[in-house]
Amino acid sequence: MRRSSYPDQEVSSINWQAFKLILPYLFEYKKRITFAMSCLVFTKVASVYLPFILKDIVDTLDANTTGTESALIIVPLGLVAAYGLVRLSIVVFAEIRDTLFGRVTERAIRRIGLKVFRHLHSLDLDFHLNRQTGGLSRDIDRGTSGINFLMRFMVFNIVPTLLEIVMVVTILFVKYGIWYAVITLSSIVTYVAYSVFATELRTRYVRAANIADSSSNTRAIDSLLNYETVKYFTNEEFEAQAYDQQLSTWEQAKIKNRLSLFALNGGQALIIAAAMTAMLALAANDVAADVMTLGDFVLINAFMMQLFMPLNFLGFVYREIKGSLANIENLFGLLAKAPKVQDVPDAAILNLAEQGDSTINEASIVFNNIAFAYNAKRPIIKGISFNVNAGEKVAVVGQSGSGKSTLVKLLFRFYDVDSGNIKINGQDISQVSQQSLRSHIGIVPQDTVLFNDTLFNNVQYGCPTASEDEVLKAIDLAHLSEFISSLPDGLETVVGERGLKLSGGEKQRVAIARTILKNPQVLVFDEATSSLDSHSEQAILTAINEVTKSRTSLVIAHRLSTIIDSDNIIVMNHGEIVEQGNHQQLLALEGQYSKMWQLQQS
C-alpha cells in the first residue's frame, strides 16, 4: 500500500539569531520605524490611561449628590467624552503604526524575496539537479511569511504587551501597594510559563495532525490522478478503504489535538480566573475598608482584563514565532549557499566583435586536454582535446554515457573543468563572466522545457526585446508557421506547464525558433532532432543548415544521418576520443563510427 507523509519541520528551541538576519533590511527605514515606535508607545500610554478615566467616571457618579444638578451632569459627560476621545486615539495611533511599519515589512520581504530569487539563479547546476523543488518553494514561502508574522506579532503584540505589563505593575505598586503588583506579576509569569510548557507538549499532537492531514490528502489526490488505472483494475473499493484508513489516523490525531488544546485553554483560563479573583477580592476588601474608591475597583478590573486579553493568544504566538524564526533561518540559509561556479574577480567580457565588422562574428572553440568528473570516483571526460574552427560544424557522437552532453555543460560553464581549459577565440572561458559567455551561445537541448505561457512569448524568450516581425521570422525559419496556423488560438496558444500540451517535436521546433531569435555566434544542438519524425527532421535540418551558415556549431547527435555534412566528427567512448574525421574518412577507417553507421542503416 502506498503511503505518503510530509511532516512539518520540528523546531526544538528558539533561535534568536534570525533577528540579526532581517534587522539590516529593516534599519534602512530608521525614520519610519522611529515614528511607528512612537505611535506604539502613544497607543500603550493611552491604553493604560483609559482605566483612569473610567475610574473618574465611576467615582463622579458614585459621589455624594452635592452641588447643582447641572454640574452633576456636565462633569460625567465630559469624562465620557474624554473616554471616547482616548479610545479613538488608541485606534488612530494603532492604524498609523500598522501603516508605517507594514510598509517597512513589505519592502523588506520584497527585497529579501528578490535577493533569494536572484541568488537561486546564480547557483550552479549541481545545486538545482539535487534540489527538491517543492521543498525549496516552501522554504521561500515560509521564510517570507515568517518575516511578516514575526514583525507583526513581535512588534504589535509581544513588545506592546511587555510595555503595558511594566507600566501597569509599576502603577499598581506605586498607587495601591506591593500586593497588587505581586499578584499581577506572579499571575502573568505563571500564565506565560504554563503556556510555553503546554505548547511544547501540544506541538507533537499538532505535528501528528498535520502529517495525517497531508497523508490523507496525498492519498486522495494520488488516487484521483490515477483514475483510469483504478478503473482498469476495478480497485475502487480498495482505494476507498485505503483512504478511510488515512482518515481514521487523521481523526485520532485531531481528537488528541483537540484535547491538548482544551488542556492549554483550560489551564490558561484557570490562571486568569484565579488572578482576577485574588485581585478583585483584595480590591473589594479595600473598598469595604474605605481605603480605595469604587472607581479604583473598576480600574484594577480593567487593568487585569487589558493585560490578559492579548496573552490569550500566547500559546499560538509562541509556537508560530518558533517556526517563523526557523523558517527565516532556512531562507537565509539559501542565501548562504555559495555557487561552485563563480566569476573570477574583475572577470573579463567575452568579446567576439571585430573592429569595423558588422557581419555575424565567427568564434573558434578549443577544448584543450580537459578532464572532468561529477564524482571523483567516476571520471566522465578523460583528457580530451579538439578544435572547432570558426564557422565550422563539428559533431560529437558516441554511445550513451560517453560524455557527449557533458561537453555542452562544460562549454556553458555549468561546471568548471577539473583540468585543462576551454577557449573561445583565445579567451579562457573560466576567466570571462558567465553572463557574457552564455550570451554568445545558443542551444537547442534534447529535452526542451517551455514556460506555461503562449507560443509567442515562449519564442520571444530567446530575445525579450525582439519585435513581433522578428519573432514571426524566427518561427518561419523553424518551420513552425504551418503548425501554429492549425491551432485555434494561433500564437496565443498556451503550451501548458513545461510545454506538456505540445509534442516532443513541436517543443523542439519552438526551441529552435527561440535560438534563431537569440542570434548567437555559437550554436549548440544537443540531440536537436531526437523527437522528430522523418519528414519534420528533414525540415528542421534544412532550417538548421540555414541558421548555421557563418556560425560555429557544435552538434551532439545520436542519429548519424543528421551530421554527415559536418566538417569534423568526434567519436567518443567512455570519456575519450577514439576517432575523428569527416563522414567519409570515418567510414573508411571501419572502426566504431562505421559500425554505428551500419547498425543504424540496417
- Give per-residue pLDDT as tens, 346-384: 888 887 654 334 344 568 899 999 999 988 888 889 889
CATH superfamily of 390-399+439-601: P-loop containing nucleotide triphosphate hydrolases (3.40.50.300)
Helices first, then strands: H and E counts in the chain: 20, 10
DSSP state of 10: P
DSSP 512-562: HHHHHHH--SEEEEESTTTT--HHHHHHHHHHHHHHTTTSEEEEE-S-GGG
* Structural element, H or E, at residue 386: strand 381-388
Give per-residue burial for 340-376: e unless 16+ CB within 10 Å, then b. ebebeeebeebebeeeeeeeebbbbbbbbebebeeee
pTM of the model: 0.66
Residue 181, C-alpha cell as written in the block: 503588583
**CATH code of the region 17-336:** 1.20.1560.10
3-state helix, strand and coil shares in percent for the chain, rounded to the nearest 5: 65, 10, 25
- In one letter, which amino acid is 25? Y
Check if the beta carbon of residue 388 is closer than 8 Å to that of residue 554.
yes
d(CA 536, CA 549): 20
Low-confidence ranges of the chain (pLDDT < 70): 1-18, 63-76, 129-135, 138, 315, 352-362, 498, 528-537, 539-540, 543
Q: Rounded to whole angstroms, how far apart are CA atoms 33 and 38?
A: 8
DSSP letter string, 301-354: HHHHHHHHHHHTTHHHHHHHHHHHHHHHHHHHHHHHPPPSS-PPTTPBP-----
In this prediction, residue 134 carries a pLDDT of: 56
pLDDT of residue 1: 43
Q: What pLDDT shows up at residue 16? A: 63
- Helix H or strand E encompassing 186: helix 178-225
Q: Give residue 75's pLDDT.
A: 57
115-121-126 Cα angle (round to 5)? 130
Strands 552-556 and 393-398: parallel
| Residue 152 in grid coordinates | 507583526
Look at residues 423, 365, 547 and name the one whose alpha carbon lies nearest to residue 474. Answer: 547
Q: What does the domain layout of the chain look like in residue ranges? A: 17-336, 390-399+439-601
- Nine cell digits for residue 173: 505598586
Phi then psi for residue 351, to 5 deg, are -115, 110
- pLDDT given at position 532: 63
Beta-carbon neighbour count of residue 269 at 10 Å?
12
Q: 17-336 and 390-399+439-601 share one CATH topology?
A: no
